[in-house]
Chain A
Amino acid sequence: MTMRRLINLKRVEARRIYLTYAVVIVAYAVCQVMSSTKFLSSSMRGMLVPICAYMVMAVSLNLVVGVLGELSLGHAGFMSVGAFSGVAAAIIMQKTITYAPLRLAVAMIIAAIFAAIAGFLIGIPVLRLKGDYLAIVTLAFGEIIKSVLNNFYLGMDSGGLHFSMLTDTTRLLKGGRLIIRGPMGISGIQKIATFPAGFILLMISLMIVFNLVNSRSGRAFMAIRDDRIAAESIGLDITKYKMMAFVMSAALAGAAGALFAMNYSTIVANKFDFNTSILILVFVVLGGQGNMLGSIIAAAALTILPEKLRQFSEYRMLLYAVILIVTMLATNNAEIKEFLGRLNPFRRKEEAE
């Protein structure tokens, strides 16, 4: 199915998709070689898994923002749902599944399912709205998820699972373990997330997204983005397609959240706040809406950039802000664009084609 779809694609589109896969595979191979030959610093090695998670986040958000054309400001909420459900699942399965990679995979699937359910429930009210109102409601849901998880307690003992809200009233039996501890989050996580796992998750996400985008549904998404009224008038079920994109995006974000969380020993709900949602959105917009390769590169570059700017110590976030503003001005202002185009002889030729 995948193959036939790819063969039927337009040449440019197929080239772009293959290029994306190729870049990801080559980058993975290079990182693996560099990391095994000790060429990568330890701080960079520690960033490989978060970068993969952010890449998946960016790709999944791009499905909503770039392909479907709706602004979502609460994407970190799904990451959070995935992180907490995935890590909790991994802790519960610690005794039953001893093989760590399998446990990670199962945890990520569970995380994806939970995040997809959250996406569905949120999608019901959200997708009735339009434009900025839709954006603010996704922001609101992101904040609600954060507040709820900050006050959620989950414990496990021989009698099964217990949960409570606001205060810890789980009353665990002796030998039980309080897994989610409200504002303290989850601690004592086994760090089973690995770079190869991140790579595989990214490849799977790309396959899912590319397949979806280049299917009947994907064309429906783009029709809705380009002209909602025209799409509606030819009989497309707007809500159904929006929901499909939204739930798929949430599921991928959930899996990414689980991967991300299992790279640390402790996670708290406050880590997945509005700023994280914005960070992911910046990846998408900077990389180009609808352009998955762009999202991936932007996610990597902007995660490494603050690290590389560390030598400027306290000025680094300031520089980050300036780079962000200047990039947006340079890529979106007609005059500056033309000026840059004149500096770069190749670019002009490309545009003339």
Chain B
Amino acid sequence: MIFLNFLISGISLGSIYAIIALGYTMVYGIAKMLNFAHGDVIMVGAYVCFYAVSRYGLNPFAGVALAMLVCTVLGMVVERLAYKPLRQAPSLAVLITAIGMSYFLQNTALLLWSSNPKVFPSIIGRGAFKLFDGRLSVSHVTVLTIASCVVIMAVLSLFIGKTRLGKAMRACSEDKGAAQLMGINVNATISLTFAIGSGLAAIAGALLCSAYPTLMPTTGALPGIKAFTAAVFGGIGSIPGAFLGGIMLGVIEIFAKAYISSQLSDAVVFAVLIIVLLVKPAGLLGRMTQEKV
């Protein structure tokens, strides 16, 4: 029963990682860049949600919707101002710009909202379902988290696979030049990708802070790195990979905390990542690209 409990909380944490990892993996798939500021978009989303709910008394779900709106706009603005001028630049330059953007968001948050940790109210209360005569308790937040992750995955897969915009995104990630020749607006597509990724980050922020209710300007940093790891774990650029990688990372982390050592859990997570990459150098579901000679 305890095992089941750990498994469920692992899947729940993993669902959050998966939602964040989607943002990384989509942006990587299309713009071929690591958006280091993504973790901080989560934090911004959580703050917006926090203030909307606790100060202005908004309905929590309206708060999340507002956070999504703010983050979507933020993601697009960041892309337009900082990343778009560097489309032709070497990838390291873009990486450093993204890191600069991450510092910028963290420090803006520090100025606006101070470094005092805020206690985030759960978006659906702290209740729990009791199963097996109360031997297993699953909190509402956990259920909501897992359910949102599944819904997001399903909707996103449908969007990417079935719609014209989704097709445009796939075409851009395959070959930007050819996509442009086919009449696809590459810049708009990249912008859309950032918008979707950042909107998802807002949801992840609200869920993350509902489960772990301390909110600080650096809240997004570590989950950001973990989710990035999850994206690589599943094969960066692959959407099912982000889902699988996120869930597995969450489960491994909780199990490592429970059965090995809580202080060494991060080390265990990263060690597993290294072993996976040695066996499958492109991640679990990543495609190996053929090298041209």
Binding site for B on A (CB under 8 A): 65, 71, 125, 128-130, 132-133, 136-137, 139-141, 143-144, 147-148, 150-151, 166, 183, 229, 233, 274, 278, 281-282, 285-286, 289, 314-315, 317-318, 320-322, 324-325, 328-329, 331-336
Contact = CB atoms under 8 A, between A and B. Distances in A.
A274 B277 contact: no
B270 to A, nearest CB: 4
A133 B267 contact: no
Given A65-B92, A332-B86, A317 B263 contact: no
A140 B273 contact: yes
Contacts of B92: 65, 71, 285, 289
Contacts of A334: 88
B93 A328 contact: yes
Contacts of A147: 263-264, 266-267
Given A318-B107, A332-B90, A333-B85, A324 B271 contact: no
B274 A125 contact: yes
Contacts of B34: 132
Contacts of B157: none
Contacts of B89: 332-333
B4 interface: no
A137 B225 contact: no
Given A132-B236, A318-B108, A321-B101, A328 B278 contact: no
Interface string B62-95: 0000000000000000000010011011101101
Given A140-B229, A147-B263, A130 B281 contact: yes
A143 B266 contact: yes
A137 B100 contact: no
Nearest to A318: B107
18 contacts: A128-B281, A136-B232, A139-B229, A144-B267, A147-B263, A147-B266, A147-B267, A150-B263, A151-B264, A229-B293, A233-B293, A282-B99, A285-B93, A289-B92, A314-B110, A318-B107, A320-B103, A324-B96
Contacts of B90: 332
A331 B93 contact: yes
Contacts of A166: 261, 263-264
Contacts of B271: 140, 144
Contacts of B225: 139, 143, 274
Interface string B268-293: 00110110011001110000000101
A84 to B, nearest CB: 16
Nearest to B272: A140
Nearest to A323: B100
Main secondary structure of the interface of B (DSSP, over half): helix
Interface pairs A-B: 5 shortest CB-CB: A140-B270, A324-B100, A147-B267, A321-B103, A332-B89
A282 B99 CA distance: 9
Given A144-B267, A144-B271, A325-B82, A137 B96 contact: no
A115 B95 CA distance: 27
B263 A133 contact: no
A166 B263 CA distance: 8
B246 to A, nearest CB: 15
A317 B291 contact: no
Nearest to A144: B267
Contacts of A139: 225, 229
A182 B89 CA distance: 43
Given A329-B82, A329-B85, A333-B89, A137 B274 contact: yes
Interface residues of B, number: 44
Given A144-B267, A147-B264, A325-B82, A332 B100 contact: no
Contacts of A285: 92-93, 95-96
A286 B270 contact: no
Nearest to B34: A132
A336 B85 contact: yes
A339 to B, nearest CB: 12
B97 interface: yes
A140 B274 CA distance: 7
B267 A325 contact: no
Interface centre among B101, B232, B291 (most CB of A within 10 A): B232
Interface string B214-247: 0000000000010011001000100000000000
Contacts of A128: 278, 281
A192 B220 CA distance: 38
A137 B229 CA distance: 9
A132 B281 CA distance: 11
B111 interface: yes
A143 B271 CA distance: 10
Given A315-B111, A332-B89, A278 B277 contact: no
Contacts of A329: 82, 85-86, 97
A317 B273 contact: no
Given A325-B100, A331-B93, A133 B270 contact: no
A42 B107 CA distance: 27
A282 B232 CA distance: 23
Nearest to A278: B99
Contacts of A137: 273-274, 277
B85 A148 contact: no
B129 interface: no
Given A133-B282, A321-B103, 17 more contacts: A71-B92, A128-B278, A129-B277, A132-B34, A140-B271, A183-B263, A233-B293, A282-B99, A285-B95, A285-B96, A317-B107, A318-B111, A321-B101, A324-B100, A325-B100, A328-B93, A332-B85
